[in-house]
Amino acid sequence: MDYRQVVAHNVRAFRQERVWSQEELAHRAGVHRTYISQVERAVTNPTVTVIAKIAHALGVEPAALLELPKGH
């Protein structure tokens, strides 16, 4: 699993735990909804700045978005 996939998995998991739409997360993070979709599909390689914005919106440390999912 490459790190785009790790970030994609973790962003989606944290977002779904909060029962937020991609649009809600995008609004809270200050990015476009299509960008959240691209991150969650591992289409784009988010910058450190964007990872920090998304993490802040989710209420987690940026490092949490880079942690390998259990079992991988």
Query: Each residue of 15-63: pLDDT tens digit?
Result: 999 999 999 999 999 999 999 999 999 999 999 999 999 999 999 999 9
Residue 52 backbone phi and psi in degrees, to 5: -65, -40
Closest Cα to residue 39, out of 20, 70, 58, 65?
65
Examine residue 27 and state whether it is found in any structural domain, yes or no: yes
Write down the pLDDT at residue 72: 65
Write down the pLDDT at residue 69: 87
Write down the pLDDT at residue 9: 97
Examine residue 70 and state whether it is found in any structural domain, yes or no: no
- DSSP, collapsed to helix, strand or coil, labels residue 9 as helix
How many domains does the chain fold into? 1
d(CA 24, CA 19): 9
Examine residue 33 and state whether it is found in any structural domain, yes or no: yes
Tokens at residue 58, please?
């989710």
